[in-house]
């Protein structure tokens, strides 16, 4: 697999991990290009962390193959651990150390060569825009600054691939944008970024997304692909008086997969919005509702996520019936 490993930062072929009878990761295959920002999404228990742990060299696969930064995830796990960066909200900085002390500490952990230490520290302070705050206690920094420092620390040893676990959770949108501008900068220098998150606001920033569910890869594509060609359902947004009651009526109509309130509007997931809209208007008006606008909208990533997962549930459900 050396050829593929050259141009790709991550290659997975039928990667599988079982725990006893339970298949946590079920034959996942995918490639992540060098310099790509790749989002890895899925509900809790879908197999996300198990996959990440295999990619980071912390867990051995049961079967299948994979490389990270050109290294074999089965035989070169120690080497992988030294070559990757990892940043998570849960695993982060020491609040009672100063900015500089945190950098020194992580420099030690990541075994940054002595002759490079000063230069790397400077690089982190510049990148995170913290030169003037090097002696500030980390706990006193605003959340967005801490996140930048945390990012800098994860990059001290110049990894070629960076794993981010819900990186900007709890940060204001302006700081988030600053953070992602840094990530784009890293990526354009060839660093590959692998992001896991529950927050679709973060997912929107990725070049490409994978959705995994019940250990399987359910969808793979750019955020635009996800909202377009990969989204089987359409979303019809309906504004209507007494939306709670109207929701109940709409949810019972044929062809409505899912109905949810969104502020004052109703969002309906359906295979064919063009077919549904006139029927719905008729039914609602017959029951005395004043119906306002009805228009198909671009689904949000959350709509896509929910729709794909429910489609998979339906498919599995019918399969089970078939087996029975």
Partner 1 sequence: METLRTQALTRRFGDLVALDQLTLAVEEGEIFGLVGPDGAGKTTTMRLLTGILEPSSGEAWVDGLHTVRETEAIKDRIGYMSQRFGLYPDLTVQENIDFYADLYEVPKAGRGERMERLLAFSNLTPFRRRQAGNLSGGMKQKLGLACALIHTPRVLFLDEPTNGVDPVSRRDFWRILYQLQQERVTIFVSTAYLDEAERCNRIGLLHQGRLMACDTVDGVKGLLRGALLELRCEAPRPAARLLREAAIGSVALFGDRLHVLVEDEARGRQAVEAALRAGGIALRELRTIEPSLEDVFTSALPGGSA
Burial of 171-188, coded b for 16+ CB within 10 Å and e otherwise, reads beeebbebbbebbeebbe
| 316: contact with partner 1 by CB under 8 A | no
CB of 246 to partner 1, least distance (A): 12
54 near 17, Cβ under 8 Å?
yes
Of 219-238, binders to partner 1 (CB under 8 A) are 222-224
Near partner 1 in 26-85, by CB under 8 A: 37, 42-45
Q: Give me the least distance between CB of 80 and partner 1, in Å please.
A: 26
* Of 177, 257, 281, 312, the one binding partner 1 by CB under 8 A: 177
d(CA 290, CA 29): 50
* Torsion 162-166-169-172 (CA) sign: positive
Cβ atoms within 10 Å, residue 193:
26
Residue 111, phi-psi category: left (phi > 0), alpha (psi -120 to 50), beta (remainder): left
Q: How far is CA 113 from the centre of its chain?
A: 33
Three-state DSSP class for residue 215:
coil
| Distance from C-alpha of 281 to C-alpha of 46, rounded to nearest angstrom | 38
Residue of the chain from 78, 158, 172, 285 that contacts partner 1 (CB under 8 A): 172
DSSP state string for 158-193: --SEEEEESTTTT--HHHHHHHHHHHHHHHHTT-EE
Q: Which of 174, 229, 320, 321 binds partner 1 (CB under 8 A)?
A: 174
Taking the complex as a whole, the smallest distance from the CB of residue 300 to partner 1 amounts, in Å, to: 7
Q: Which stretch binds partner 1 (CB under 8 A): 69-77, 80-88, 131-139, 192-200?
A: 192-200
Q: Output the smallest distance, CB 305 to partner 1, in A.
A: 5
Q: Per rule CB under 8 A, is residue 200 in the interface with partner 1?
A: yes
CB of 256 to partner 1, least distance (A): 15
Min. distance of Cβ 223 from partner 1 in angstroms?
Answer: 5
Per-residue contact flags (x/-) with partner 1 for residues 287 to 306, judged by CB under 8 A: -----------x-x-x--xx
In the complex with partner 1, the residue whose CB is nearer, 142 or 278, is: 142
Q: Cβ 243 to partner 1, closest distance in Å?
A: 9
Cα–Cα distance, 45 to 70 (Å, whole number): 28
* H or E stretch at 40: strand 37-41
Interface ranges with partner 1 (CB under 8 A): 37, 42-45, 142-145, 166, 169-175, 177-178, 180-181, 184, 187-188, 198-201, 204-208, 222-224, 244, 247, 260-264, 298, 300, 302, 305-306, 309
């Amino acid at each position: 697999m050396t050829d593929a490993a050259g141009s790709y930062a991550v290659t997975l072929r039928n990667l599988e991990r079982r725990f006893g009878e339970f298949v946590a990761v079920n034959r996942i295959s995918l490639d992540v290009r060098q310099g790509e920002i790749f989002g890895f999404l899925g509900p809790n228990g879908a197999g996300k962390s198990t996959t990440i742990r295999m990619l980071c060299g912390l867990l051995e696969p049961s079967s299948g193959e994979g490389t990270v930064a050109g290294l074999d995830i089965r035989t070169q796990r120690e080497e992988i651990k030294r070559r990757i960066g990892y940043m998570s909200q849960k695993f982060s900085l020491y609040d009672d150390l100063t900015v500089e002390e945190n950098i020194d500490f992580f420099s030690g952990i990541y075994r940054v060569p002595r002759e490079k230490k000063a230069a790397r520290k400077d690089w982190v302070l510049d990148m995170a825009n913290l030169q003037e705050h090097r002696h500030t206690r980390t706990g006193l920094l605003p959340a967005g600054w801490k996140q930048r420092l945390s990012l800098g620390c994860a990059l001290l040893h110049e990894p070629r691939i960076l794993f981010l676990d819900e990186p900007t959770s709890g940060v204001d949108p302006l700081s988030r944008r600053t953070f992602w501008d840094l990530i784009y900068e890293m990526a354009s220098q060839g660093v590959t970024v692998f992001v896991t998150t529950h927050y679709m606001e973060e997912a929107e920033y990725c070049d490409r997304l994978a959705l995994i569910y019940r250990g399987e890869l359910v969808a793979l594509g750019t955020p635009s692909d996800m909202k377009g060609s990969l989204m089987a359902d359409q979303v019809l947004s309906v504004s209507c008086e007494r939306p709670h009651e109207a929701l109940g009526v709409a949810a019972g109509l044929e062809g409505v997969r899912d109905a949810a309130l969104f502020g004052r509007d109703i969002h309906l997931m359906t295979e064919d919005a063009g077919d549904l809209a006139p029927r719905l208007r008729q039914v609602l008006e017959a029951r005395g509702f004043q119906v306002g606008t009805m228009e198909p909208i671009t689904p949000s990533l959350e709509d896509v996520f929910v729709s794909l997962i429910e489609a998979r549930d339906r498919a599995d459900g019918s399969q089970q019936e078939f087996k029975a």
